[in-house]
Each structure stands twice: as C-alpha cells, then as structure tokens.
A = this chain, B = another copy of it.
Amino acid sequence: YYYRYGRKLLRLNYIRQAGESVLREKAAAVDPTAIVSTDVKKLIDRMIKTMRSHGDLGIAAPQLGRPLRIITLEITKRHLSYLQAQYRNVVQRDTVPLQVLINPQLKVLDNHKVAEYESCSSIHNCMAKVPRYTTVEVSALDRHGNRINYIADGWLSRILQHEVDHLDGLLYVDKMLSKTFAKV
C-alpha cells in the first residue's frame, strides 16, 4: 500500500492499512529476555519515530507489520491543546511523557463508557465515535523490562484501549458507532 500524492506522505507507506492481515492477528507476547535485544530495540525506536512523524497519540507494533505486544504513546502539549479545543466528552488535563508498554494488560475500573471521535493511521482519512471505558488500570513492562503499573482516565485511557485492541487484532471500526463514521 502506498500513497501517490507527494513525497512527504510516502512515509505513510510504513503504516499498515486496514485490510492487511497483520492488523487482524493476535500479537504474540514479547519474551522478557528479548526486550533488550537489538531487534526489539530497533522496532521500538521505529515505532516512536513513526508515531511522532504522524503526530499520533499512540501506535502498536502490528501497525508496522510486527505482531508483537508492544505499544508506544505520548500526549504532548501540542496534542493537549488540540484535544482540549476539539473534545468536550473526554477530559485530559495533563501531558503524558513518552511511554513504551510491553505486554500491556488492562483492567477496567469503571464500567461507564464514553463515546468520542477517534482516528487511526491504519484507517487513513477516516474517523468515528467509539465508546471506551473511562478508567482502566494498566500493567506492563517498560523498555528496560521494569514493571509499570498505573491508573488512567481521560484520553490516556482511550489511547490505551485503542492500542491494546490493535494487539488483539481489533480496529476501531469493530466498536464504532457506525452512524458517526466520517471521511476527513
């Protein structure tokens, strides 16, 4: 899959698009002893670079063609001002420094869901409202193999659910409110 219009957007090439089977697989757990391997390090660096070049809030390894349970995310000041201006249903007060989460597991802490627009670099030029749990607890390993554990709400909770879905072969179109689906 590639884009024809302009040199810059050819980078989108590196993000797998809906319809490619790797996005529908259940990704494999990373062996903790392999976390510091060159292969995994390089993959993580490529994920961070790609996420930032797209201005995305998060990315999952299958989006780069690798069915491994790794996600990265960050909410910068720039993201935050956009989120605060565009969205009223989800509160996000703070920036979130870059996180690398390996073998992440989510526990829903509040069964209440809220629907808000999401987009995904693997479904280029589209968006839709997706109901997500407001509060989740995440447990994962960081890129050095240390245990991370915290509670997330706001956009952070939404991003975590979106990215962990990628690891289970799910895309937001599986959960969206279809009448809100829009081309952008």
Question: Within residues 152 to 178 of chain A, which ones have a CB less than 8 A from any CB in chain B?
Answer: 171, 173-174, 178
This chain: copies in complex: 2
Question: Is residue A24 within 8 Å, beta carbon to beta carbon, of the partner chain?
Answer: yes
Question: Is residue A125 within 8 Å, beta carbon to beta carbon, of the partner chain?
Answer: yes
Across-interface contacts of A151 in B (CB, < 8 A) = none
Q: If the complex has contacts A173-B173, A174-B178, A178-B173, are A183 and B124 also in contact, measured as CB distance less than 8 A? A: yes
Interface SS, A side: loop
A interface residue count range (under 10 / 10 to 19 / 20 to 34 / 35 or more): 20 to 34
Q: Which residue of chain B has its CB nearest to the CB of A4?
A: B5
Question: Is residue A18 within 8 Å, beta carbon to beta carbon, of the partner chain?
Answer: yes
CA A119 to CA B109, docked complex, whole Å:
39
CA A182 to CA B4, docked complex, whole Å:
18
Across-interface contacts of A36 in B (CB, < 8 A) = none
Partner pick for A24 among B1, B173, B179, CB 8 A cutoff: B179
Contact B183 A17, beta carbon cutoff 8 Å:
yes
Chain A residues with CB under 8 Å of chain B are 1, 4-6, 17-19, 24, 122-127, 171, 173-174, 178-179, 181-184
19 additional contacts (CB under 8 A) given A125-B125, A126-B126 = A1-B183, A4-B5, A5-B6, A17-B182, A18-B126, A18-B181, A18-B182, A18-B183, A19-B182, A19-B183, A122-B183, A123-B181, A123-B183, A124-B125, A124-B183, A173-B173, A173-B178, A173-B181, A174-B178
